């Protein structure tokens, strides 16, 4: 092949956009004719120079085009034409100068934020599939919006996590947030991968604080996956860096709970107590001390014979369905009493209370009269307050109790035939002194619902419960000691939510704020286990209670 053929071949490659291949051909030609005349060599040098100029010109054109795309997309955003802006963004060639790349990334992150806040999840999913850019700056906002994993956003959430993982590179801070978020929703594959990267980065940097966070993250991820030995090793590695880290000690404590080793649990809690600071951790430690006392009690194997029923009612006119059984009629309360009584065994006693929050109206007065007749004929203590709100109603109701187990049911619920007997639930409390709360679920027990944290260990499966991350007012049974040592101190003087939700706010709102703060510090995998929050039944089981009002 002569030099003209080589140059013609190189020109053909460059015209089709294959610049790298064209450059290789020219350099090979120059090498072959380097021993010939200087004119031949310079001929190839000229062609290489022309090729470089051609590449630069095309690159400049692309950069200008990308700048136009970014500018146009920003204009579309101001016109609220988000979908058109996304379509434009996906045309970016990505072969831009660093400053242009930063503009594109900034625009991408802004679009992710806007689509999330507007709950335009289909377009968000399209955007996340279009390109991989760093998502660290918007991670917290998007994660919080998508953490309740309803079926219509679950795929978006997983895609968001995967895109964050791909775009994070060696960004330790983003990977740490991602690992914690994945543990919060039991996305075990992402939690394990991100925590593994954290360890790699920390080992390379040699930074002791990064190493500590990486080992804790690794421990939480393996706790989520049920790999207790790996989790235990990670928490011990964290303690080898700093022996006074309360998170690592409490991580070892929850592993002891999963192993039903209550002696070790008490020991680790004692070690952790020396470093506990702040009101929320102090409150948790108070609860744990009570749990340790229950674990060490000689009565742990005995069934409690006394159950207290607290029913809460108010003259609601807001029910969207089942108006024919709503106040001022007492049909809902009658049905609850009938179904509750059927589930009390002959060895158990139940003290029943109905706490009625009265309003000053003719409608409310008629309802109160009907409730008085019902309770008088049913052996139920009727406690009437006026404009009390749910928080104060709870405080009043619990002040009257002396039994260990309390069943809570609000007026607009119906127990389904599949709802367990109370002896079955108490048997779980007897077998599991670490459990404080068992929700009787009105939705299927799925991670794609409000129970975003729903997960099970082998021990949970054996005892027919599923862990949950948050507290709910919906029908449940709890230990009275859980209320006295954890809930009461939170809600007793906290009036922030009083009057909210038609007077039905003030309990779960206040309690869950504290739970979230604990989980942010300890990790959801540790916090939920220490609090002993569960749902009756295994993952995938159907609801056993029906909500009548919606």
370 has a pLDDT exceeding 70: yes
Which residues lie closer than 8 Å to 517 by C-beta, 6 or more apart? 280
pLDDT single digits (tens) 324-339: 677 788 888 999 999 9
Predicted local confidence at residue 95, as pLDDT:
43
Q: How many CA atoms lie within 13 A of 410 on its CB side?
A: 22
Give the least confident one: 154-158, 352-356, 360-364, 513-517: 154-158
Predicted local confidence at residue 98, as pLDDT:
39
- Of the two residues 221 and 129, the one the predictor is more confident about is 221
Predicted local confidence at residue 151, as pLDDT:
59
- Of the two residues 402 and 241, the one the predictor is more confident about is 241
CB-CB contact of 140 with 148 (8 Å): no
Question: CA angle at residue 98 from 96 to 102, to 5 degrees?
Answer: 95
In the chain, the domains with their CATH numbers are 1-133 (no CATH), 306-544 (3.90.550.10)
Mean pLDDT of 443-454: 74
Predicted local confidence at residue 94, as pLDDT:
44
Q: Beta strands 533-536 and 465-467: pairing type?
A: antiparallel
- Of the two residues 284 and 141, the one the predictor is more confident about is 284
- Of the two residues 353 and 136, the one the predictor is more confident about is 353
Neighbours of 38 (CB within 10 A): 10
- String of b and e for 164-203 (b: at least 16 CB within 10 Å)? bbebbeebbebbbbbbbbbbbbbbbebbbbbbbbbbebbe
- Average pLDDT of every residue of the chain: 85
Q: Beta strands 545-547 and 306-313: pairing type?
A: unpaired
pLDDT single digits (tens) 63-98: 556 667 667 777 777 777 777 777 776 665 544 433
Predicted local confidence at residue 521, as pLDDT:
95
Q: What is the pTM of this model?
A: 0.81
403 has a pLDDT exceeding 70: yes
Predicted local confidence at residue 185, as pLDDT:
86
- Of the two residues 152 and 182, the one the predictor is more confident about is 182
- Phi, psi dihedrals of residue 161, rounded to the nearest 5°: -65, -45
Closest CA to 112 of 86, 87, 92, 93: 86
Neighbours of 453 (CB within 10 A): 24
pLDDT single digits (tens) 510-525: 999 999 999 999 999 9
């Amino acid at each position: 092949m002569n030099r003209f053929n080589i140059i013609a071949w190189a020109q053909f490659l460059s015209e089709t956009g294959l610049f790298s291949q064209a450059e290789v051909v020219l350099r090979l030609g120059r090498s072959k004719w380097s021993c010939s005349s200087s004119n031949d060599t310079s001929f190839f040098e000229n062609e290489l120079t022309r090729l470089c100029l051609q590449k630069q010109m095309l690159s400049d054109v692309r950069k200008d085009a990308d700048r136009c795309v970014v500018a146009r997309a920003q204009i579309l955003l101001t016109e609220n034409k988000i979908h058109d802006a996304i379509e434009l963004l996906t045309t970016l060639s990505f072969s831009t100068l660093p400053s242009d790349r930063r503009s594109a990334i900034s625009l991408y992150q802004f679009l992710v934020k806007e689509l999330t806040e507007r709950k335009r999840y289909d377009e968000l999913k399209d955007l996340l599939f279009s390109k991989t850019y760093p998502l660290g700056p918007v991670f917290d906002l998007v994660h919080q919006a998508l953490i309740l994993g309803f079926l219509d956003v679950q795929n978006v959430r997983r895609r968001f996590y995967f895109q964050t993982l791909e775009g994070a590179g060696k960004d330790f801070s983003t990977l740490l947030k991602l690992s914690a978020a994945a543990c919060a929703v039991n996305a075990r594959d992402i939690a394990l991968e991100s925590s593994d990267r954290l360890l790699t980065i920390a080992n390379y940097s040699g930074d002791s604080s990064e190493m500590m966070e990486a080992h804790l993250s690794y421990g939480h991820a393996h706790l989520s996956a049920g790999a207790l030995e790996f989790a235990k090793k990670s928490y011990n590695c964290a303690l080898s860096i700093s022996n006074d880290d309360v998170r690592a000690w409490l991580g070892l404590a929850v592993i002891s709970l999963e192993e039903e080793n209550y002696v070790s649990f008490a020991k680790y809690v004692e070690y952790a107590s020396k470093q506990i600071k702040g009101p929320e951790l102090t409150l948790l430690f108070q609860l744990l001390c009570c749990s340790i006392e229950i674990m060490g009690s000689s009565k742990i194997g005995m069934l409690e014979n006394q159950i207290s029923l607290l029913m809460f009612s108010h003259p609601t006119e807001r029910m969207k369905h089942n108006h024919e059984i709503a106040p001022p009629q007492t049909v809902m309360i009658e049905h609850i009493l009938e179904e509750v009584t059927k589930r009390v065994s002959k060895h158990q006693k139940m003290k029943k209370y109905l706490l009625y929050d009265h309003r000053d109206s003719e409608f409310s007065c008629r309802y109160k009269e009907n409730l008085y007749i019902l309770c008088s004929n049913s052996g139920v203590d009727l406690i009437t307050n006026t404009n009390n709100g749910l928080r104060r109603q709870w405080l009043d109701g619990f002040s009257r109790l002396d039994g260990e187990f309390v069943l809570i049911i609000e007026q607009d619920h119906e127990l389904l035939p599949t709802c367990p007997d109370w002896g079955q639930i108490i048997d779980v409390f007897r077998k599991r002194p670490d459990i404080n709360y068992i929700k009787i679920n009105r939705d299927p027990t799925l991670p794609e619902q409000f129970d975003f944290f729903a997960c099970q260990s082998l021990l949970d499966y054996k005892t027919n419960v599923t862990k949950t991350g948050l507290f709910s007012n919906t029908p449940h049974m709890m230990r009275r000691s859980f209320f006295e040592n954890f809930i009461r101190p939170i809600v007793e003087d906290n009036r922030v939510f009083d009057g909210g939700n038609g007077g039905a706010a003030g309990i779960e709102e206040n309690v869950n704020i504290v739970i979230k703060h604990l989980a942010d510090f300890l990790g959801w995998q540790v916090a939920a286990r220490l609090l002993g929050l569960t749902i009756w039944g295994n993952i995938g089981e159907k609801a056993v209670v029906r909500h009548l009002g919606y």
